[in-house]
Amino acid sequence: MEVQIVKIEKGRLRMKISGETFTFGNILQKALMDDDRILGAGFHQPHPFQKEIFFDVYFKEEVEESQYREIIIECVEKMLNYLSELRDSILNLMEVGK
């Protein structure tokens, strides 16, 4: 996976994520949309045979451009915690079934 910041402007950050498709994009979009500082987040995959997505994240007016990356990192960390909890729950179910 490679992440590039394509564009930063007031209220919006666009990034390109190489090596990922809709599955990852949907998970990341959910994590971003759960943050109160973000107005919206969406992505598109330019071609179904290319493993790359372009993400646009729209921030509320009071959020400074210098905060954009940190907010996205916080959202990714929450996403990782959520997935870890899911993994642990599944492992616990498997232990109970033994």
- Please report, in tens digits, the pLDDT of each residue of the chain (98 residues total): 899 999 999 999 999 999 988 888 999 999 999 999 999 999 999 888 889 999 999 999 999 999 999 999 999 999 999 899 989 999 888 777 66
In the chain, the percentage of residues whose pLDDT exceeds 70 is: 97
pLDDT at residue number 50: 87
pLDDT at residue number 72: 94
* 68-96 vs 22-33: helix crossing angle, rounded to 10: 110
DSSP state, 10?
T
Q: How much is the pTM?
A: 0.83
Number of domains in the chain: 1
DSSP state, 60?
-
- Three-class DSSP category at 38: strand
What CATH number does residue 86 fall under? 3.30.1360.10
What gap in Å lies between CA 13 and CA 33, rounded to an integer? 14
DSSP state, 98?
-
Q: Which domain holds residue 12?
A: 2-96
What length is written for the chain?
98
